[in-house]
Chain A
């Protein structure tokens, strides 16, 4: 603990000297920095964040400077990258993966003049840390409905990344809304323990297909699961994840969840520039435009498509919540009573499967 304090103090001293210089020049130019967990060419999660970064550049032109770092491992390495960014004059730093949560807060403590924005996390330990997220579970509900209607084997699959609330929420929403339209549906879950590893994601999809699954949703970042589904000549369908993945439209991709970060990034950087910036905890969904449902292709029958779009619109209008009671937990205990909807707190800390899902969540 002592050594850490010492380091923190030393870094603080450095931060003050460098930060001061950076601040002076920042009147001319605001520097927005982005930390990515994968490569910007992943075609999914990181690609969409980078589109948001480019939108910031587009919106403010010469008045902002964009910097980013790809493939930053979650964990201790991230702290080094963040410190480096803060020292190099970034005014606002977006950390775009759940696993940067503690590092973001740790570095934010040392650089009180730099704004930190952490995606999908829940810790805001310092006034200069904001969090932002999107209600992906709303998109998962639409996917679940399509999956429940489209499966012929009544086996649907989910390629999960890490056992965090975000992912568990997606699994539960997907399953509940599939079950609602098709009570016979069974869900197989494969934990890949990676955000990005195309070969492993393809293997996970293959394992699901070998087990008779014919609709695959994925919570990893690349297009590999769709590429694997494409090998089955139309027997298996899937969804674009994080990005539209439109190149698989004439293949297995029947719809998608698109993360649209651009409006949020433009808003936050804009607020910083005109002095209206405040700490925030943003969690928008389909209604706010952060979550978009990609075009539902013709492989989905017209009535299912209409049903899915009606569900999307009901969620956007606030008349339907994907987690509406009665819902029991996997162990049979009650979670939500009849007509009750899940609170945001429950969702953000979700650590259990709902009733009907087989298997245990890895610890």
Chain B
């Protein structure tokens, strides 16, 4: 059934494919862990895509491009943070508005950047590792963002699970009243989480416009932000499951295209829906084991906090 598909090339493709979703989902996970629901991931991603692209083209340096993408999306998320944390607006509505705003603004900024090629992001030189048969081609021949994204997931996991910072963040997300009573600055912590989420979404977006499709086109992220949002929920707010979900989604997406190209006998309709179906199915099964999946959501998710005492 898998015909003449080269597994090494497949793994290589899925690792690249998953980076944008994984970064954006990890950022959103931190935001939601702090009790804020930001539905503007798509808007932040595309702002990251255009800001990163413009920075890279203007400076000629792809690394500065990623920085610019992160900063651009962070600026957009700051608007969301200001609206929801300071002005106490509805988070769902503000998040959706953020997506619409981001799509429009990116299109405006990008008008004179259509048809330009960005400077190439080089592969990370891993020396002899690259010569290992199979693994060298599949795992060790990527640009640095691929490895960077895995490190970020690991760091987020460690911070959330083992550090004092993570404990405070989770406390704020589980019960902002209690965290406030203990003297933690709920609004400030949530604001920082929102900014962090924006930066990661921006990195993910910049990866789309600088590496995966090295060009700028209106609407280039084409819904990746919504998939990132879904993965956070189905991964029941756990960083490694976000990574698994992103790899699974990326993997099945790449596999279904490869199966088509290789002339598979499976009808195309099933192949096309497979990434969505399989990812949701697997993550739901993973999360249902302990019967506590529903409890995994931060208790204060989406609730505004106003210090009344």
Please tell me if the beta carbons of A41 and B6 are within 8 angstroms of each other in the complex: no
Q: Which of A262-289 contact B (CB under 8 A)?
A: none
Residues of A within 8 A of B6 (CB): 210
Interface residue stretch chosen among A89-97, A136-144, A166-174, A195-203: A195-203
Interface residue stretch chosen among B65-73, B74-82, B85-93, B114-122: B114-122
- Decide if B224 is an interface residue (CB 8 Å cutoff): yes
B100 to chain A, nearest CB (A): 11
- Decide if A119 is an interface residue (CB 8 Å cutoff): no
1/0 contact string of A338-363 vs chain B (CB within 8 Å): 00000000000000000000111011
Assuming A198-B222, A207-B254, A360-B268, is B263 touching A224 (CB within 8 A)? no
- Decide if A128 is an interface residue (CB 8 Å cutoff): no
Please tell me if the beta carbons of A188 and B212 are within 8 angstroms of each other in the complex: no
Report the nearest B residue to A194, measured CB to CB.
Answer: B222
Residues of A within 8 A of B220 (CB): 198-199
Give A247 to B272 CA distance when docked, in angstroms.
31
Report the nearest B residue to A187, measured CB to CB.
Answer: B263
Please tell me if the beta carbons of A362 and B268 are within 8 angstroms of each other in the complex: yes
Assuming A208-B261, A211-B4, is B254 touching A203 (CB within 8 A)? yes
- Decide if A314 is an interface residue (CB 8 Å cutoff): no
B87 to chain A, nearest CB (A): 29
Residues of A within 8 A of B60 (CB): none
- Decide if B208 is an interface residue (CB 8 Å cutoff): yes
Assuming A191-B272, A224-B213, is B219 touching A207 (CB within 8 A)? no
Residues of A within 8 A of B267 (CB): 360, 362
Residues of A within 8 A of B110 (CB): 41
Please tell me if the beta carbons of B262 and A188 are within 8 angstroms of each other in the complex: yes
- Decide if B17 is an interface residue (CB 8 Å cutoff): yes
Please tell me if the beta carbons of B218 and A41 are within 8 angstroms of each other in the complex: yes
Report the nearest A residue to B223, measured CB to CB.
Answer: A197
- Decide if B149 is an interface residue (CB 8 Å cutoff): no
Give A231 to B123 CA distance when docked, in angstroms.
13
Please give the number of chain A residues whose Cβ is less than 8 angstroms from any Cβ of chain B in the complex. Answer: 43
Give A227 to B117 CA distance when docked, in angstroms.
9
Please tell me if the beta carbons of A199 and B212 are within 8 angstroms of each other in the complex: yes
Assuming A191-B272, A363-B269, is B217 touching A224 (CB within 8 A)? yes
Report the nearest A residue to B12, measured CB to CB.
Answer: A210
Please tell me if the beta carbons of B254 and A41 are within 8 angstroms of each other in the complex: no
Give A78 to B109 CA distance when docked, in angstroms.
27
Give A362 to B115 CA distance when docked, in angstroms.
33
Residues of A within 8 A of B215 (CB): 198, 223-224, 227
- Decide if B13 is an interface residue (CB 8 Å cutoff): yes
- Decide if B38 is an interface residue (CB 8 Å cutoff): no
A147 to chain B, nearest CB (A): 15
- Decide if A39 is an interface residue (CB 8 Å cutoff): yes
1/0 contact string of A64-84 vs chain B (CB within 8 Å): 000000110000000000000
Assuming A211-B4, A228-B213, is B222 touching A191 (CB within 8 A)? no
Partner of A188, one of B218, B224, B261: B261
Assuming A157-B261, A197-B222, A199-B220, is B9 touching A39 (CB within 8 A)? no
Please tell me if the beta carbons of B217 and A198 are within 8 angstroms of each other in the complex: yes
- Decide if B214 is an interface residue (CB 8 Å cutoff): yes
Q: Which of A218-239 contact B (CB under 8 A)?
A: 222-224, 227-228, 230-231
Q: Which of B4-35 contact A (CB under 8 A)?
A: 4-6, 9-10, 13, 17, 20
Please tell me if the beta carbons of B218 and A40 are within 8 angstroms of each other in the complex: yes
Give A213 to B260 CA distance when docked, in angstroms.
13
Most chain A CB within a 10 A radius of its CB, from B13, B213, B219: B213
Give A41 to B108 CA distance when docked, in angstroms.
10
Give A244 to B206 CA distance when docked, in angstroms.
26
A197 to chain B, nearest CB (A): 4
Give A5 to B170 CA distance when docked, in angstroms.
54
Partner of B222, one of A43, A188, A196, A204: A196
Q: Which of B264-293 contact A (CB under 8 A)?
A: 267-269, 272
Assuming A191-B272, A203-B13, A206-B13, is B258 touching A39 (CB within 8 A)? no
Give A42 to B261 CA distance when docked, in angstroms.
25
A12 to chain B, nearest CB (A): 32
Report the nearest A residue to B8, measured CB to CB.
Answer: A210
Residues of B within 8 A of A200 (CB): 222, 253
Give A359 to B268 CA distance when docked, in angstroms.
9
Report the nearest A residue to B114, measured CB to CB.
Answer: A41
- Decide if A38 is an interface residue (CB 8 Å cutoff): yes
B275 to chain A, nearest CB (A): 10
- Decide if A190 is an interface residue (CB 8 Å cutoff): yes
A23 to chain B, nearest CB (A): 32
A236 to chain B, nearest CB (A): 13
- Decide if A98 is an interface residue (CB 8 Å cutoff): no
- Decide if A53 is an interface residue (CB 8 Å cutoff): no
Between-chain CB contacts (< 8 Å), 21 pairs: A38-B218, A39-B217, A39-B219, A41-B107, A42-B217, A42-B219, A71-B219, A157-B261, A190-B261, A196-B219, A199-B20, A199-B224, A202-B213, A207-B258, A211-B5, A211-B262, A227-B213, A227-B214, A227-B215, A247-B115, A247-B116
The 10 closest A-B pairs by CB, nearest first: A39-B218, A207-B257, A41-B218, A247-B115, A197-B222, A362-B268, A211-B261, A198-B213, A207-B258, A190-B260
Q: Apart from A207-B261, A210-B13, list 18 A-B contacts with CB within 8 A.
A: A41-B107, A41-B114, A42-B218, A43-B114, A188-B263, A190-B257, A198-B213, A201-B213, A202-B212, A202-B213, A203-B13, A207-B13, A222-B217, A224-B215, A227-B215, A230-B214, A362-B269, A362-B272
**Residues of A in contact with B (beta carbons under 8 Å apart):** 38-43, 70-71, 157, 188-191, 193-194, 196-204, 206-208, 210-211, 213, 222-224, 227-228, 230-231, 247, 358-360, 362-363
